[in-house]
Amino acid sequence: MFLIGLRGLINLGNTCFMNCIVQALTHTPLLRDFFLSDRHKCEMQSPSSCLVCEMSTLFQEQFYSGHRSPHIPYRLLHLVWTHARHLAGYEQQDAHEFLIAALDVLHRHCKGDDNGKKANNPNHCNCIIDQIFTGGLQSDVTCQVCHGVSTTIDPFWDISLDLPGSSTPFWPLSPGSDGSVVNGESHVSGTTTLTDCLRRFTRPEHLGSSAKIKCSGCHSYQESTKQLTMKKLPIVACFHLKRFEHSAKLRRKITTYVSFPLELDMTPFMASSKESRMNGQYQQPADSLNNDNKYSLFAVVNHQGTLESGHYTSFIRQHKDQWFKCDDAIITKASIKDVLDSEGYLLFYHKQFLEYE
């Protein structure tokens, strides 16, 4: 199987967690364009210690050079160990943790690429990582006495979503009990959907008497509700399904199947859609044809096995409907059904109006 841009990565000893994230990043359209057009201006004393320079080399000389043999990413691994020491060593690491660490190091090493324009994201940084991955999460805390609202907006690179089967209660009411269909997902015999997880993430949560917050209107500690919504959507939305549960009592993997769509409309979860919500449910307004909030799936990272003994693979979209499975050095053609039937650990979506082949 050979296509420009597709190349296997050798496993250097439990490094499948890194390989699957590298595959997702190298197939992120705007990131690919940045690296292939040589726009990085390195400001580090030694370019050999710069992760952005190494990624540029990876894109230009490895993935898009026409080489057919699998690449050995030893320099990349060494740089990650150097700049994110908590990931050093040959133990199996968490792919989600590696993604966040890689974005953080790339963000720090991209400082010289700021083009002087005012940053249009909540991280107040104009580097290519923040341009693509940073969104703004709005938190509204409402006092239950005077109904005053305190609002904060925080940057995010990914959204972590609770799943049914975890020790956190998932539903205040049964899944899909409103009978609605959002994002083309209807409920088949109680199957949980990505939309369900997003509804749960953005529903109002009562903080209770043990978590009273000082209300600026009442000038005293009061019970309140908290609600998270999307203030600003990133170009690439990454959803982390929280399959690994670590607590004082147990460590386990949650294998609940979550159905996720090829196309995702984030309009129901925007801060601007809050007024049209009732009890965590969403009534679709007739004029909700806002293409700015529509996304296409382009990469899925999966974890097979248990917490102690597992393996990461990824599905990558190469063209509009061409999908491939990346299993370290081995790349095989995959069907859309293979992708959508997979368990899903990290889901990568790209804004449709900025997407091109």
Which residues are part of the catalytic machinery?
16, 311
In sequence order, what are the beta bridge partners of 225?
A: 142, 206
Task: Let me know how long the chain is.
Answer: 357
* DSSP E strand stretches across the chain: 135-143, 149-156, 159-161, 192-193, 205-206, 213-215, 220-222, 224-232, 236-241, 244-246, 251-253, 258-259, 263-265, 277-278, 281-282, 294-305, 310-319, 322-327, 330-334, 346-351
CA distance 316 to 6: 9
Residues 179, 340: Cα–Cα separation, whole Å: 22
Largest Cα separation within the chain, whole Å, is: 67
Count Cβ atoms within 10 A of the Cβ of residue 242 and give its class: 0-12 exposed, 13-18 middle, 19 or more buried. middle
Tokens matching residue 320: 């509009």
Query: Residue 198's closest CA among 275, 268, 293, 135?
Result: 268
For every residue of 46-67, DSSP letters joined together read: -GGG-HHHHHHHIIIIIISS--
* 39, 110, 126, 267, 291 from 115: Cα distances, Å: 10, 11, 7, 30, 27
Rounded to 5 degrees, φ, ψ at 214 are -70, 120
CA distance 305 to 47: 38
